Amino acid sequence: MESRPWQTARRTGKRREGATGALFVAPAFLLLLATVLAPVGILVVLSFTDYELGAVTFRWVGLGNFEQALSDPVFRRSVTNTLLYVAIVLPGGVLLALLVALLVHGRGKSRVFYEVAYFLPVTATLIAMAAVWQFVLHPRLGPVNAVLKMLGFAEQGFLSTPSLLIPTLAFIGLWNIVGFNMVLFLAGLSSIPRDLYDAAEVDGATSAIDRFLTVTWPMLAPTTMFVVVTTSITAFKVFDTVAILTAGRDGSEVLLYAIYLEGFQYFKIGYAAALTVVFLLFMLAFSVYQATQLDRRVHYG
């Protein structure tokens, strides 16, 4: 059965539209392929080999690298340290930022000063601040231990005592991330209509706590979900503070630092690639779980 002219013209128009769309999409796809898809593909391939940096040959080891990771005490310790770090930074970074945002949001002319003061740590690189933190936390010369001695406590080696290393690094991480999360919460607070507070007050929510629980917290749910996801990703990617302040000594390795050691100190690129694949899969699963679970509890007004 022969097609009618108008049907042929319609199919031709659709093909032209598809070709035009493909031309517009091609640059972005090629960029995605070159910067994300191809590197990830190469990473996955290397994870099944014993390739070492600088070697001209390698052999396939299958799942050998992943089996080695399960029995590697350094890797297991790095996972434990990373989870402990996240357990401190994630709730602290969200709750402290929300508290600071609520306090700053209620300020008048001094609001700009507090916004700048709390946001300054975000602009400071941890590499530049390493010397400052080493002095601040010094067992004898640092002001933190000076205050502890004034209060009658013993000096603490925050960067030399194994049991205090991860909590200390987590505190520095909180110092660095609270200002950024504060700005996000301030944006969320500014978008809440004032009429909702007036309506809540008419309905009997006269105290600040009642208004927070009935209006502020539900309306901040989308912002909170975004802050939780971004903060968890940032916490899992901790590397700078460990590399600069402890260099992984006394069992303070975290996941990314362990990968760095295997790949660029010991030159075991294949094993480092396998650890990276495990890290990426875990991050993907954790982020998807967070997003799906939190999205069910979020009200988009």
- Are 169 and 256 in contact by the 8 Å Cβ rule? The answer is no
CA end-to-end span of the chain: 54
Helix (H, G, I), strand (E, B) or coil at 268: coil
- Exposed (0-12), middle (13-18) or buried (19+): which is 287, by Cβ within 10 Å? middle
- Exposed (0-12), middle (13-18) or buried (19+): which is 75, by Cβ within 10 Å? buried
Tokens of 237: 């990617």
For the segment 113-134, the average pLDDT, to the nearest whole number, is 82
> pLDDT for 98-113, tens place per residue?
999 988 887 777 888 8
Mean pLDDT over all residues of the chain?
85
Q: Hey, which of 87-101, 110-124, 276-290 has the most confident mean pLDDT?
A: 87-101
Helix (H, G, I), strand (E, B) or coil at 60: strand
Give the integer Cα–Cα distance in Å for 258 and 239: 9
Q: Tell me the C-alpha to C-alpha distance, in Å, between residue 64 and each of 12, 54, 69, 172.
A: 53, 21, 9, 37
Give the integer Cα–Cα distance in Å for 137 and 158: 6
| Residue whose token pair is 């936390």 | 137
pLDDT at 287: 79
| Residue whose token pair is 């014993």 | 50
Put residue 3 in one of left, alpha, beta given phi > 0 → left and psi -120 to 50 → alpha: beta
Q: Rounded to the nearest 5 degrees, what angle is found at the Cα of 278, between the Cα atoms of 176 and 49?
A: 130
Q: What band does 272 get if pLDDT is binned at 50, 70 and 90? A: very high
Residue 8 has pLDDT above 70, yes or no: no
- Are 277 and 43 in contact by the 8 Å Cβ rule? The answer is yes
For the segment 121-136, the average pLDDT, to the nearest whole number, is 81
Give the integer Cα–Cα distance in Å for 231 and 98: 13
Residues with Cβ < 8 Å from 190, sequence gap 6 or more?
Answer: 105
For the segment 32-50, the average pLDDT, to the nearest whole number, is 90
Give the integer Cα–Cα distance in Å for 183 and 189: 10
Please give the distance of CA 203 from its chain centroid, rounded to a whole number.
40
Q: pTM of the full predicted structure?
A: 0.85
Give the integer Cα–Cα distance in Å for 279 and 256: 8
